[in-house]
Every structure is written in structure tokens, then in C-alpha cells.
Amino acid sequence: MLKFFRDQKNSWLMKGILILTALSFVSLSGTGRFLEKIPDESKPVAVVAGRKITVADFVGEVNRQARLIEKMTRRPFSVKDAVDSGLLMSMFNRMVSRAVTEKTVDALGLTVSDESVRAAIAALPMFTDYDGKFSMSAYKQYLSDTGIREKDFVADTFFDMRARQLTDAAAAATAVGDETAGVAYRLENEVRSADVFTIAPEKLKVSGKPSAADRERLYKELGDDLITPETRSFTVFFLTLDDVSKKIKITDEELREVFNENKDAYATEEIRDVDQMLFDTKEEADKAFAALKKGGDFMTVAKEYAHQTEDQTKLGDLTPSTATGDWADAVFSAKKGEIVAPVQTAFGWQILRVNKITPKVEKRFNDVRDEIERKMVASLAFDTLSETAVALDDRFGAGETIEEVARSTGFPMKKYEMVDPAGLNENGKSAGVSKAVLEQAFAADPGRETPMTENGSDFFVLRVDDVREPALKPIEKAQKEIEAAWVEECRRDKARRISDEIKAELNKGAAPEAVAKKTGAAYKRVKTVTRNGGQLPQAAAYRLFSRPVGEAFSLPEGENMLVVKAVKSVPADPAKNKIAVAELRGRMRDAAAAEKADVLLSDFSAWLKLEIKDETVKKAFAYLTKSTQESDEDY
């Protein structure tokens, strides 16, 4: 963008617009459409050589660009998206800079023929066919996909070609000699190796305590860091499922009635361990049964006559409720060890043997009384909780206090003293307040009971009793912070002293390994460092290449101190890479040409009497915010 606008982006106007926009815009799901009525639509946001760029022009351009982005991305594009991507600011800059550029190229008499514009469009790769020729269908498809009118696309191309003449002219007047390019190549591609020491203050030990003078000084310096957050004291009335459950009383008569109605549910069924053989025909089953009557082993007969494995023969435990087959009556009427003669079932003919019988056990009322009571209380508790919450909420609404209701109902209440928004008390420990209660405590007005508030399966009512506004801690209560700041300060000072010691030792020629061992600093040798390679922090790399080899220097890097010394330099030879030198010369020429063009346009901005209408620009941004919000609400 123009140098003028690069400068302007840091002005109070540009910052004001950015802040206004960031604060005002909310997340929208619309597509950039705005209300038809635009206030002050004819007022200019900028004036260039008498030509006005109006609020309506600006709003229309933002609207057009939003639709274009939506078409290109095939997804909704909201005003928040425009803010996040810098669209609004870039549109404003683009409109003004385009107006300046158009007036500048007009004044300089720069023009392009229609034939040149057509040729430039035809040469664009996205409009060429597989054979390299211009494809009208591809061109029309692009216009359709983007929603750009052909007239506007041609006009934009015409403008871009005229503006390019300006930069091309500047490039033609800009020369970068071989010697200059060679020097730049040597500087850019020089390689150095370096010894790097890192001193981390947090790893350094500090002894002693701050003096009274240090405490006073640090107390003043810490300032805002010692301001305590707002704290609140509040009383909470709790209505929980457990507390309601404890108040539900069920008589033995009611419990016995439930027991008598559900006796089967409290009985253990008879259990029989059963083996079985299965046959397709009665004749096969009779032969097996005859073998059993002669004293044959059940498992052996099953294997020989029914061709079953032991696992297939064992049915396992059965109860009257699980043995629902045609043979159930026969099984449960047999005695232990008895073999039931062949019985026809849906599966064929079965021979069964009862191995073990566990008799039915009917529990007595006293055995299951507590279980029945627990189930009944749990069943009644939820309804009772809801009914109680409604009834007590009415009492609070009628003016009763937490203390009065707690006293009459026996439900618990608790007082919390001076809790901050993080849930910590004055000692910095957790006050044991739930998130829901804490949020309500800092949202409620002091002195009044809140409505009954649901919190999961429970309820609570809260009253704020006292509010302590944020305030600077007195010095006697800030000793912990003061001592921590003093330790941090001492560590930083110690780290600087160590870095000075390392620097002095290295400049005397001491071996880096010995220096690292003596000082305890972390040490490594970085064998390859370039100016922009990222092997070192940028500030360290800059200083490394600005000092002679062998000279150590120190500098802060984040929380740490670094000591760096270049130990070797490998200069770059332009003669060995002429292609890279030529590419560098081209980049240098382009950069110089662009700067010249920017300077020219900046000068023309003054000559063209460019005016930015601050208040109107602000109103235009505010309108875009408000109208888009209202449009979203209409949906």
C-alpha cells in the first residue's frame, strides 16, 4: 500500500477506527448485506483533487467485496469475518489510494490502449485453454463465479496496467550496480559460527531478605500489581436432594404394604443345575435313555449317542423364570440326581438330568425393609425437592430472610467472608464455593435475597452482605509479593553480573567450556549462523554480524541473558553464485523502485489536496456495524 497510508495506519484516526470496529462488531451469520437507508450517504469520507468518495461509495464497496468473497469461498461471509480479515480497513485504504493513483497517472499522462488491455486479459493463465489460447468460456465462467461485471473487470485491469507504468518507470530509473549487489550478497550470505551462553535467572539462588528501603521502593514500583480484586461476603441457603431426602418419613405400615404387593421381587427363585442330551428322533433318544438305565455315565452316553461335547451337554443353572421350554415342568418336578425320560420339545427329543437343587428363598419384611425405604425415599425426593423449592421461593419473595427460612425449615445455610471472583478467600485459599454460586454472588445486588436458583439437581438462594471494592494492599499485607519481586530483581542483577563475567573471560581468550563450568551457565556452539536464518534471536544475530570475530557481547533475551561470541566467519563469494547475485540485484531494484513510486504518490497526495474526513469515516464504520446487526436481528 502507499507509504502515505502505511504512515497513516499508526495515526490516531486509524487506531480509533480499528478500536471502534473491534469493539462494535459482533459475530453475525449474514452475508454482508446492509440496510437500504444510509445516513449521511452523500457526505465524503475522503476528497481527492475535488473528487468525493462518499459514505455510500464506501458502503457499496464493502457490500460488493463481501458478496465477492462469499461467492469465491462458497460460504457465508459475515461482518465479523470482514473485521477479522481487515477487509473494512483495507477497502477504505484501497478506495482512497486508488483515487490518488488514478489522479496521479492522469496528471502524468500515463495511458494504455484498449488493445493492450484485451491482450493482457487474454494472456492471464486462468483464461487460457489446454493449447495455450484464450478461452472465452473460462473467462465468462470466472465472471459468473465471482459475480464481477465484465465492465468492472476490464476497468480494474486498465487501472492496474496504468499504475504498473508508474512502478515500471521508477524501476527503469533505478539502477543497482554489480559492485553494490556483490557487497549486499556478501553481507546477506556470510556464515558465522558462535559460542552462545544462556543465563536463566529463575535457576539462580538468592539468599537474604529485602531491606526496609527496598521494601518501600518495591511497594511503590509494584503499584497496580498490588491492587486486590473486588471481594464479597455472602450468605447462601442450600436446598439439596440429600437434605430433602432426610426429611421424608415413611411409616412401617406403608413399607409393609409395598412389600406385600411385591413379594416376588424380594424372593430368590429355586435354582437347578441341569445336563441335557438332544436327539432328532424318539428312537435315538430311547436308545440313549436305555443305556442310562443300565447304569451308563451321562457324559459318556451323551458323547456316544448324541455326539455332544461336555460343554454342549451342560445347560447350567436354570430358574422357573428362565426355563421356559416345553420341558420346564419336567425339570422342576424331578428330584436331585433324577434323569428325566425323553421329552419332546421344539428342538427335538431331550433327556435331562438334575444335578443340584438350590431351594427358593423368600425374604422376610425385616430383611428388605431398609432397601424398600431407600427406594421409596429416592422416588419421592425429586418431586418433594421441586415442590419445596417453589414453596420456599414464595417465602423469600414475600420478604423472609435466609436466616428465617433456614431456622424454620432446618435446611442448611452458610456464610462466606470476603471471597474474590476466583473463589479465593483473604488468605488466598479456596473458599469452597461452587462455580454457579460464585457467579451469582458477583452478579447479585447487595442486601437482597436472589430468586431460588437451580444448580444441577439442587437449589440455592443467595444474599450479598458486603462488598469491598478493589484497593491497594497495605504494605504489611503485600510482603509476599514484595519479597517475590525482590528475589526476581536480585536474580536479574545476578544474571547480568554473570553475563559480564562471561563476556570478560571470553574477551581474554578463556576456553568456553571452562567459562561455562566456572559460571554454571548453559553453553553451546552454533556452527552455522546466517543473518536471517533464525538460528539465533534476531537481535543477537544482528549484533553478531555487526561485531568483529572474537569479540563477545551480552544482551537480554526474554527473561534470560545471552552472551554471544563469533568464533569463525566464512565470507560469501559472489563470483561463485552469479545467478543468486542477479536475483538479489532484481529484488533490490524492485524495492528501490517501489519506494520511489510510494514517495511520488505521497507527494501527489499533498498536491492533489487529499483530505480524510475523520468524523465521517468513524460514522461510516459505526453505520456498517449497526445496520448489519439490525439486519441479522431481522432474521
Q: Mean pLDDT over residues 485-501, rounded?
A: 95
Residue 2 banded pLDDT, cuts 50, 70, 90: very low
What's the confidence (pLDDT) of residue 501?
Answer: 96
Residue 86 banded pLDDT, cuts 50, 70, 90: low
Residue 170 banded pLDDT, cuts 50, 70, 90: low
Q: Specify the range with the lowest mean pLDDT, choosing from 20-34, 221-235, 462-476.
A: 20-34
The model's pLDDT over 33-78, given as tens digits with 9 standing for 90+, comes to: 444 567 778 888 888 888 888 888 888 877 777 777 777 677 777 6
User: What CATH number should be reported for the domain holding residue 281?
Assistant: 3.10.50.40
Residue 26 banded pLDDT, cuts 50, 70, 90: very low
Residue 264 lies in a domain: no
The number of residues in the chain equals 635
pLDDT above 50: residue 10 = no
Read off the C-alpha cell for 436.
454457579
What's the confidence (pLDDT) of residue 79?
Answer: 60
Q: Locate cell 478506495: which residue?
A: 95
Q: Mean pLDDT over residues 577-584, rounded?
A: 79
CA distance 279 to 456: 60
pLDDT averaged over the chain?
Answer: 83
Q: Which of 307, 327, 359 is the last residue of a domain?
A: 359
Q: Residues 489, 626: one domain?
A: no
Residue 474 lies in a domain: no
H helices of 357-401, where?
Answer: 365-397
Residue 183 lies in a domain: no
pLDDT above 90: residue 434 = yes
What's the confidence (pLDDT) of residue 83?
Answer: 61
Residue 435 lies in a domain: yes
Among 85-89, 267-271, 356-360, 487-491, which range has the highest average pLDDT? 487-491
Q: Specify the range with the lowest mean pLDDT, choosing from 53-62, 242-251, 381-390, 545-554.
A: 53-62
Residue 565 lies in a domain: yes
What's the confidence (pLDDT) of residue 78?
Answer: 65
CA distance 499 to 503: 6
Residue 171 banded pLDDT, cuts 50, 70, 90: low
Give me the amino acid identity at 192.
Answer: R
Q: Residues 235, 291: one domain?
A: no
The model's pLDDT over 95-147, given as tens digits with 9 standing for 90+, comes to: 787 888 888 778 778 788 888 888 888 888 888 877 778 888 878 888 887 77
Q: Mean pLDDT over residues 180-190, rounded?
A: 78
What's the confidence (pLDDT) of residue 34?
Answer: 44
> 428's torsion region: left (phi>0), alpha (psi -120 to 50) or beta?
left
pLDDT above 60: residue 5 = no
Contact of 204 with 501, CB cutoff 8 Å: no
Contact of 413 with 238, CB cutoff 8 Å: yes
Q: Residues 71, 119: one domain?
A: yes
What's the confidence (pLDDT) of residue 523?
Answer: 96
CA distance 581 to 535: 23
CA distance 157 to 106: 16
Q: Residues 440, 457: one domain?
A: yes
> What is the 8-class DSSP label of residue 512?
H
Q: Residues 628, 489: one domain?
A: no
The model's pLDDT over 302-333, given as tens digits with 9 standing for 90+, comes to: 999 999 999 998 988 888 888 766 778 888 88
Task: Report the SS3 class of residue 347.
Answer: coil
Residue 608 lies in a domain: yes
User: What CATH number should be reported for the domain holding residue 29?
Assistant: 1.10.4030
pLDDT above 70: residue 31 = no
Residue 318 lies in a domain: yes
The model's pLDDT over 506-528, given as tens digits with 9 standing for 90+, comes to: 999 999 999 999 999 999 999 99
The model's pLDDT over 279-299, given as tens digits with 9 standing for 90+, comes to: 999 999 999 999 999 999 999
Contact of 170 with 599, CB cutoff 8 Å: no
Q: Which of 437, 469, 501 is the last residue of a domain?
A: 469
Q: Residues 169, 299: one domain?
A: no
- How many Cα atoms sit within 13 Å of 469 on the Cβ side? 0
Q: Which of 350, 353, 352 is nearest to 279 (CA)?
A: 350
Q: Which of 332, 359, 386 is the last residue of a domain?
A: 359
Residue 85 banded pLDDT, cuts 50, 70, 90: low
Q: Specify the range with the lowest mean pLDDT, choosing from 154-168, 455-469, 497-511, 551-565.
A: 154-168
Q: Mean pLDDT over residues 462-485, rounded?
A: 93
What's the confidence (pLDDT) of residue 142?
Answer: 80
CA distance 526 to 534: 12
H helices of 39-177, where?
Answer: 55-73, 79-85, 87-107, 114-122, 136-146, 150-172
Q: Mean pLDDT over residues 5-16, rounded?
A: 37
Q: Residues 33, 161: one domain?
A: yes
Cβ contacts of residue 218 below 8 Å, gap of 6+? 210, 482, 485, 486, 489
Residue 156 banded pLDDT, cuts 50, 70, 90: confident
Q: Residues 205, 278: one domain?
A: no
Domain range for 290: 270-359
Q: Locate cell 480509533: which residue?
A: 16
Question: Number of structural domains, the chain?
Answer: 4
CA distance 44 to 47: 7
Q: Residues 164, 294: one domain?
A: no
Burial (CB < 10 A; 0-12, 13-18, 19+), residue 551, is middle
Q: Mean pLDDT over residues 252-275, rounded?
A: 84
Residue 21 banded pLDDT, cuts 50, 70, 90: very low
User: What CATH number should be reported for the domain holding residue 522?
Assistant: 3.10.50
Contact of 90 with 9, CB cutoff 8 Å: no
Residue 455 lies in a domain: yes
Q: Residues 496, 394: one domain?
A: no
CA trace torsion 568, 573, 577, 582 (10° rounding): 110
What's the confidence (pLDDT) of residue 94?
Answer: 79
Read off the C-alpha cell for 330.
419336567
Q: Residues 47, 161: one domain?
A: yes
Enumerate the β-bridge partners of residue 273: 317, 356
Q: Residues 50, 143: one domain?
A: yes
Q: Mean pLDDT over residues 485-504, rounded?
A: 95
Burial (CB < 10 A; 0-12, 13-18, 19+), residue 440, is buried
Give me the amino acid identity at 603.
Answer: D
DSSP notation for 476-491: GG-HHHHHHHHHHHHH
Residue 8 banded pLDDT, cuts 50, 70, 90: very low
